[in-house]
Amino acid sequence: MASWEEYLAAQQAVDGVQFTWNLWPHSRVDAQRLVVPVACFFTPLKERPADQPQQPPLEYDPVLCQKASCKAILNPLCFVDFRAKSWVCPFCNQRNPFPAHYAAIAEDNRPPELYPQFTTIEYTLKKATTMPPIFMFVVDTCMTSEELKALKESLQTALSLLPADAMVGIITFGRMVQLHELNVQGISRSFVFKVILFNFSFNVS
């Protein structure tokens, strides 16, 4: 039987998803005590391993939780009541009805987003968006000059492939963290933030 660490590594290899914490805080107090906030690193368009079931992007919009402060997306961890045509959000416990085009849903006729093997699903949205795509590059500058040169070339290639209306941001971090302001005039400007190091001690009993 795989260990917890092996299970997480396998999931990351399949989904390209990695969390800062692998446990959800049980209360608001626990959440406030977190030194590092709950966050997720996601790899868009990641190719799944060849031995894993393949699911292309779904050609419809995701089903969202109706609670205004939640908006979580229907997924295999949701409790589904097939008779009542409803589902319960695992984040906020809101019960949500399925939209009309899910009328044929049944235990033996599930949409792909409810299959447990598809723990990550990508969607091709049908609704027009008013926001242009946003890309944020976060760059570690603590490397050799040869590596920095190769990184610079890779960034230039990536930037040349972005849509013309894309919004782009760059953050570099080394001894300092710099948020770079990009503009068409070519004038370099950045906001510099000091890195604060924390020393933590843990008692293991």
Q: Identify the CATH number of the domain in which residue 61 sits.
A: 2.30.30.380
Whole-number pLDDT of residue 198:
54
pLDDT, tens digit only, all 205 positions of the chain: 778 888 888 888 888 888 888 887 888 898 888 888 888 888 877 788 888 888 888 999 999 999 999 999 999 999 999 999 999 999 999 999 999 999 999 999 999 999 988 888 888 887 766 778 889 999 998 889 999 999 999 999 988 888 888 888 899 988 888 888 877 666 678 888 876 665 545 454 4
Residues 6+ apart with CB under 8 A from 156: none
Q: Is residue 67 part of a domain?
A: yes
Q: Are 13 and 49 in contact (CB under 8 A)?
A: yes
For residues 78 and 87, the answer to whether their CB atoms sit within 8 Å is yes
Q: Could you tell me if 111 and 152 lie in one domain?
A: no
Q: Is 54 exposed, middle or buried (0-12, 13-18, 19+ CB in 10 A)?
A: exposed
Q: How far apart are CA 69 and CA 67, in angstroms?
A: 6
Where does residue 144 fall: left (phi above 0), alpha (psi -120 to 50 degrees), or beta otherwise?
Answer: beta
Residues 113 and 164 both lie in one domain = no
pTM of the model: 0.59
Number of domains making up the chain: 3
Structural domain for 89, as ranges: 53-127
Residue 205 lies in a domain: no
Residue ending a domain, among 70, 98, 127, is 127
- Tell me: do 115 and 60 sit in the same domain: yes
